[in-house]
Amino acid sequence: MRQAILPGARQQALGTGFNATTTATDVISGIDLTGKIAIVTGGNAGIGLETTRVLAAAGATVIVPARDTEKAKHNLQGIANVELDTMDLLDPRSIDAFAERFLASGRPLHMLINNAGIMWVPLRRDHRGIESQLATNYLGQFQLVARLWPALKQAQGARVVNVSSFGHQMAPFHFEDPNFQHREYHTLQGYGQSKTASNLFTVALDQRGQAVNVRAYAVHPGSINGTELGREAPLELFQQMGFCDAQGNILPEVAATLKTIPQGAATTVWCATSPLLNTLGGVYCEDADVAELDEGQIEHRPDDPSTARGVQPYSLDEANAQRLWTLSEELTGISFPAS
């Protein structure tokens, strides 16, 4: 019988020499991706766009599925080796259709980067009654990986990178009421739960995928200036948090603590390509290294986004990871044995 791994047992820094200022271009230096195929959800904006640009520049063919293809076409203009397709993570039929089109191409999939996500949204539910952040940030990931599994196995050495967040520290996964049907809705609780789910999925996926040479990683990109993640949040919220002035301009002292978009994409690209991870998976990473397990020893200061680091043991718990896998199959109606 396989012995259970304690939560966070693999969370040991590798000493990569990278840090919070490292860029995506830095981590991929010297790596040739010619002949490799990547899919990057949300790959037409923010850190997803930078991830697409850097992987394509290294020789990979990058497929970007997007909900708004006109916007995506405009943003991706001038980047070679990119293919654009349509997909809406809130629509299970759209995910299936995209996956079917890719599988029909007969190509292997070497890198699946689940980058797309939403945050700070009011209570919304999809047609299944699933809360929108859980549906988009996690269940969409689960379904897409399940549907693309044949292509990932075909690659004979694939990586799945789930873009998570320090926001997982806002909430564990609420197994009794994941869709806020019997408790008051708080948008950051919903966001935190969805990112904890992504971390737990990474643990279970890597455990199952090792036998077929598919490894999985969860990523905290960092606190980043210039993304669209907070586009639905009211200006008053950022002002209350002390991030903006009365006109909505980010305060210089806050901006100085935030990552740039090239820095924010670094850990995603590192997890997708670094040879240091050839024999390691199922870990949560930040600043282009394996993150430290947060057992209460890390000081998190609201006035300093750079202290938003570390990973909670509850989001790496193996038993909860297996429990979530079963629940995810029930919620999506997908049997995903991952074998």
- The contacts of residue 2 (CB under 8 Å, 6+ apart) are none
Query: Which listed residue (191, 217, 284, 314) is catalytic?
Result: 191
Catalytic site includes residue 191: yes
Best CA proximity match to 288, nearest among 333, 202, 211, 222: 222
Tell me the C-alpha to C-alpha distance, in Å, between residue 211 and each of 200, 208, 214, 334, 339.
19, 7, 8, 21, 8
Buried/exposed 233-252: b ≥16 CB within 10 Å, e otherwise: eeeeebeeeebbeeeeeeee
- 152: number of CA atoms within 13 Å, CB side? 28
Q: Kindly report the length of the chain.
A: 339
Asked if 33 contacts 55 with a C-beta cutoff of 8 angstroms, the reply is: yes
Residues whose CB falls within 8 Å of the CB of residue 235, separated by 6 or more in sequence, listed in order:
244, 248
Q: How far apart are CA 39 and CA 94, in angstroms?
A: 15
Beta-ladder partners of 62: 38, 82
What residues are annotated to the active site?
A: 191
